[in-house]
Amino acid sequence: MAIQILMPALSPTMTEGKIARWLKKEGDAVKAGQVIAEIETDKATMEVEAVDEGVLGKILIPAGTENVKVNEPIAMLLEEGEKADALKNAPLPTITKAVASKEEPKADARPALSVVPAAPQPAEIPEEKEYSKYVKLTVRDALRDAMAEEMRRDPNIFLLGEEVAQYQGAYKVSQGLLQEFGDKRVVDSPITEMGFAGLGVGAAFGGLSPIIEFMTMNFAMQAIDQIINSAAKTLYMSGGQMGCPIVFRGPNGAASRVGAQHSQCYASWYAHVPGLKVVAPYDAADAKGLLKTSIRDRNPVIFLEHEMMYGQSFDVPDEEDFTLPIGKAKVMRKGSDVTIVAFSRMVSHALVAAEKLAEQGIQAEVINLRSLRPLDTATIVESVKKTNRLVAVEESWPFAGIGSEIAAQMMEHAFDYLDAPMARVHGADVPLPYAANLEKMALPQVENIVDAVKQVCYRQAA
Amino acid sequence: MAKPQLQPVAANQQAPARSTDLQRYYHDMLLIRRFEEKAGQLYGMGLIGGFCHLYIGQEAVVVGMQAAQKAVDSVITSYRDHGHMLAAGMESRGVMAELTGRIGGYSHGKGGSMHMFSREKNFYGGHGIVGAQVPIGTGLGFAHKYKNDGGVCLTYFGDGAVNQGQVYESFNMAALWKLPVVYVIENNKYSMGTAQARHAAGELYKRGEPYGIPGKKVDGMDVVKVREAAEEALAYARSGKGPMVLEMETYRYRGHSMSDPAKYRTKEEVEEWRGKHDPIDALRAIILEEGVATEESLKEIERKIKDVVADAVEFAQTSPEPDPSELWTDVLIEM
């Protein structure tokens, strides 16, 4: 059966072109892969290769013809043993244009952009239970205990990062883990962030559960391609086949007097990305309960710690296998007049501000977000329905920050409940300075939160 | 055509085994070639969108490597990946349907040409960022060693990727921790449109030397030579000595991607490779010369391949587009 040779497109946008010349003439034998013609567009010249073997039976479009439409038959190919008169009954092209792609768009195939949930779905996560016994732990030890408990449970979990083993952790978070688990499972990495982040992704694809420690999240910028393009997107790109169970953890945000390159909060960077979960613990209970859950999660989790919190002690539930769910915020302090939303170290500032405000007769409800993706919008909305006023606090820059996202969510889900425009408290929109006075000015302070609350409560700032 | 330069029969190899092997390599290489030619045609008809990097000319590399692998070994490569999938035993239907963006594709149409995977066949993609698969392959090697499963990860990358820093970050860790990885540099002479002499200083197979990683240059147009080098490198990595680098000298006949005018090289150069060094023509001549198979039995292989590819094309056009609900699935694993 004679085969039609069609005018090919050089690119998805090409609609027509010129047959520059024929390199084969009628009657010539043609093999698959042989160049038979050259076509031109205003952008490029390309060769047309035969896909099938046969004899060039007839050239339908002569050389020099311009404006030949893509997919128009340009020649006929006779298969082995065929005579030229087979051309009289030449069939339609063996390959026909796809039908499905030409169908009218279905009603439910609307662009993703217009999809906004009608109302926040309350997360189906039970309220945190009351615990009978607590122990005092530093955030540092809580993180270590979380890793140790999970590593005892599952031999496929390992910790890899700079100085995690013999040095016992640059911030001593991995103290004692080398001694307990050995150097197969607690691995000192060279200073090679992109390399070891990618290696962790590969190990996760290969069936292990890596915990990758960045000495600080600032250095993870060297590795962000592996975190986003490899870890976050592969499950989707593989149609659900290739999950990446990995935790990337390390201190995030401003420490103290270390300058701009070592003092950045990456919460909104990672929270922007579908395919990641982003967790930011505040106290030791958060640190332990959320890290254990993050290690068990089969998705890539960004676990944002805070250097200034490592040495602080908190009550941690003293029970076997204490965990906290990802995606559930915690109301740290009940209040009726205003809601303050914060995460990581800023929860501490918010709680101090709430005490000061109480002295002035303002009862603030303080929400510790714990998780930024997924964000527990329902808990914020429930609080705003009660207080009708909202202040969002974060250490990072304001533009496209977590506070901006919360503002957008409130427009969508709590607009009718707000009695005043929401306020944001955030870091100054500058690279973090070194000088002590400037650094203090650049980072949110308790007073900034107090002032913002007064602003949304229409009280005079102090 | 010049006389093909293929290795003589290895002394210890039984003739029937060699006969079967050579016919299999011929089949596998020709399947890739015919599949890719068809993909190029479908692209020209607008049935395949975006980027489409064809493997035509380089078939001997992946078929020769695959011939030396064990089932436990894993494979990872860049975006010029259709040949690797077919060589790994992935179905031509599923690969072609992914190219046309249909639900029957390996990634349900959500990955495309550069993003296909098969856990079953230990094929770990298909990666679109130049060089990014190298640390990931190193991590797959880490997992083989950690689990002590005897496997090796074959990590493929092109000559264009050899200048990415993460390649050397990977070499360092793989050598330091003696990871079972074979790094296969597919040197097709061009980093997109930039010739090797203009983008890479020194010899590529020596790029692992500072780390103590042995390297070897291999005629990547000769499937038997590739298999022999692969056997050596895989045995080395499997024995616990650490990684090895194989530089495959090969050539891609087609452009970097589909809309490549190929102004950076001459027609004569392409013709020289295609006419005198083609891996499939060379193997075909050897098979006939040695009497390993008859002209008629090779024709039979060719006919079968034609049917397989035609079936894949049919499937890739009739498989429906993904259901709109697919937009929202596979972002996260439900916990």
Say whether pLDDT at B72 is over 90: yes
Work out the minimum CA distance from A181 to partner chain B, whole angstroms: 13
Mean pLDDT confidence for B126-139: 97
- Pairing assessment for the beta strands A390-393 and A423-425 based on DSSP bridges: parallel
In whole angstroms, what is the distance from residue A325 CA to residue A47 CA?
58
- Which of the 8 DSSP states describes residue A103? S
Q: Which of A46-60, A198-212, B89-103 has the least mean pLDDT?
A: A46-60
**Neighboring chain B residues of A196 at a CB cutoff of 8 Å:** 135, 169, 173
Task: Please choose, from the candidates A238, A34, A43, A54, the residue with its C-alpha nearest in 3D space to the C-alpha of residue B258.
Answer: A43
A5 in helix, strand or coil? strand
A40 in helix, strand or coil? strand
**Neighboring chain A residues of B140 at a CB cutoff of 8 Å:** 202-203, 205-206
Phi, psi of A415 (to 5 degrees): -55, -45
**Neighboring chain A residues of B50 at a CB cutoff of 8 Å:** 12
- Pairing assessment for the beta strands A301-305 and B194-195 based on DSSP bridges: unpaired
B165-182 b/e (C-beta count within 10 Å ≥ 16 → b): ebbbbbbbbbbebebbbb
In whole angstroms, what is the distance from residue A163 CA to residue A233 CA?
29
Decide if A6 contacts A71 (C-beta within 8 A).
yes
**The pLDDT value given to residue A353:** 98
Say whether pLDDT at A4 is over 50: yes
Say whether pLDDT at A84 is over 90: no
- Report the sign of the C-alpha dihedral through residues A41, B98, B133, A199, in that order: positive
Strand order in the sheet with A73-78: A3-6, A73-78, A54-59, A29-30
Work out the minimum CA distance from B138 to partner chain A, whole angstroms: 6
A80 is catalytic: no
Decide if B59 contacts B279 (C-beta within 8 A).
yes
In whole angstroms, what is the distance from residue B19 CA to residue B34 CA?
22
Nearest CB partner across the interface for A194, out of B56, B100, B165: B165
**The pLDDT value given to residue A461:** 58
- Which of the 8 DSSP states describes residue A104? P
Percent of chain A scored above 70 by pLDDT? 90
**The pLDDT value given to residue A100:** 38
Q: Which of A92-96, A436-440, B108-112 has the least mean pLDDT?
A: A92-96
Q: Which of A59-63, A179-183, B15-19, B123-127 has the least mean pLDDT?
A: B15-19
A275–B45 C-beta distance less than 8 A: no
Work out the minimum CA distance from A119 to partner chain B, whole angstroms: 18
Report the residue count for chain B: 335
**The pLDDT value given to residue A327:** 97
**Cis? peptide before A374, omega within 30° of 0:** yes
pLDDT grade for B212, boundaries at 50, 70 and 90:
very high
CATH topology identical between A134-317 and A330-456: yes
Mean pLDDT confidence for A205-232: 98
Mean pLDDT confidence for A128-135: 89
A271 in helix, strand or coil? helix
Q: Higher pLDDT residue, A82 or B135?
A: B135
Helix-helix angle B15-44:B59-68, to 10 degrees? 140
In order of A228, A274, A302, B100, the CA distances from A269 in angstroms are 10, 11, 11, 33
Mean pLDDT confidence for B187-208: 96
Decide if B245 contacts B203 (C-beta within 8 A).
no
pLDDT digits (tens, 9 = 90+) for B249-307: 999 999 888 877 778 999 899 999 999 999 999 999 999 999 999 999 999 999 999 99
Number of CB pairs < 8 Å for A and B?
A: 221
Say whether pLDDT at B203 is over 90: yes
Q: What is the mean pLDDT of chain A?
A: 90
Instruction: Report domain extents, chain A.
Output: 3-89, 134-317, 330-456
Say whether pLDDT at B103 is over 50: yes
**Neighboring chain B residues of A297 at a CB cutoff of 8 Å:** 335
Q: Which of A51, A108, A184, A199 best probes binding to B when mutated, by most B CB atoms within 10 angstroms? A: A199
- Taking every pair of Cα atoms in chain A, the longest distance, rounded to a whole number of angstroms, is 100
B165–A275 C-beta distance less than 8 A: no
**The pLDDT value given to residue B12:** 52
A134-317: CATH topology is: Rossmann fold (3.40.50)
Nearest CB partner across the interface for B45, out of A6, A184, A239: A6
In whole angstroms, what is the distance from residue A445 CA to residue A339 CA?
17
Say whether pLDDT at A96 is over 80: no
B49 in helix, strand or coil? coil
pLDDT grade for A45, boundaries at 50, 70 and 90:
confident
Say whether pLDDT at A139 is over 70: yes
A3-89: CATH topology is: OB fold (Dihydrolipoamide Acetyltransferase, E2P) (2.40.50)
pLDDT digits (tens, 9 = 90+) for A416-431: 999 999 999 999 999 9
Q: Which of B129, B140, B211, B315 best probes binding to A when mutated, by most A CB atoms within 10 angstroms? A: B140
Report the residue count for chain A: 462
In whole angstroms, what is the distance from residue A327 CA to residue A374 CA?
5
**The pLDDT value given to residue B257:** 84
pLDDT grade for A46, boundaries at 50, 70 and 90:
confident
pLDDT grade for A398, boundaries at 50, 70 and 90:
very high
ipTM value for the complex: 0.94
- Check A193, A305, A382, A395 and give the catalytic one: A193
pLDDT digits (tens, 9 = 90+) for A236-267: 999 999 999 999 999 999 999 999 999 999 99
Say whether pLDDT at B310 is over 70: yes
Percent of chain B scored above 70 by pLDDT? 96
pLDDT grade for A128, boundaries at 50, 70 and 90:
confident
A202–B136 C-beta distance less than 8 A: yes
B108–A199 C-beta distance less than 8 A: no
Q: Higher pLDDT residue, A97 or B321?
A: B321
B142–A202 C-beta distance less than 8 A: yes
Phi, psi of A203 (to 5 degrees): -65, -35
**The pLDDT value given to residue B29:** 98
Say whether pLDDT at A443 is over 70: yes
Work out the minimum CA distance from A45 to partner chain B, whole angstroms: 6
In whole angstroms, what is the distance from residue B53 CA to residue B79 CA?
7
Identity at B40, one-letter amino acid code: G
- Check A149, A262, A272, A412 and give the catalytic one: A262
Mean pLDDT confidence for A75-86: 76
Decide if B193 contacts B185 (C-beta within 8 A).
no
In order of A126, A269, A290, A386, A410, the CA distances from A327 in angstroms are 11, 18, 10, 21, 17
Helix-helix angle A346-359:A446-456, to 10 degrees? 60
Say whether pLDDT at A103 is over 80: no
A199 in helix, strand or coil? helix
Cα atoms in the Cβ-side hemisphere of radius 13 Å centred on A189: 26
Q: Which of B332, B333, B334, B335 best probes binding to A when mutated, by most A CB atoms within 10 angstroms? A: B332
Q: Which of A125-134, A171-180, A355-364 has the least mean pLDDT?
A: A125-134
Tokens of B33: 């070639």
Decide if B59 contacts B281 (C-beta within 8 A).
no
**Neighboring chain B residues of A71 at a CB cutoff of 8 Å:** 45-46
**The pLDDT value given to residue B89:** 97
In whole angstroms, what is the distance from residue A461 CA to residue A452 CA?
8
**The pLDDT value given to residue A106:** 46
Work out the minimum CA distance from B100 to partner chain A, whole angstroms: 9
A193 is catalytic: yes
Say whether pLDDT at B5 is over 70: no
Q: Higher pLDDT residue, A85 or A317?
A: A317
Domains of chain B: 15-319 (3.40.50.970)
**The pLDDT value given to residue B168:** 98
A59-96 b/e (C-beta count within 10 Å ≥ 16 → b): bbbeeeeeebebbebbbbbbeeebeeebbeebeeeebe
Tokens of B101: 């963006």
Tokens of A337: 């007049």
Q: Which of B173, B181, B303 best probes binding to A when mutated, by most A CB atoms within 10 angstroms? A: B173
Mean pLDDT confidence for A100-117: 45
**The pLDDT value given to residue B272:** 94
A330-456: CATH topology is: Rossmann fold (3.40.50)
**Neighboring chain B residues of A97 at a CB cutoff of 8 Å:** 45-47
Task: Please choose, from the candidates A362, A364, A322, the residue with its C-alpha nearest in 3D space to the C-alpha of residue A342.
Answer: A364
Q: Higher pLDDT residue, A266 or A21?
A: A266
- Quote the radius of gyration of chain B (alpha carbons, Å): 19
In whole angstroms, what is the distance from residue B275 CA to residue B289 CA?
19
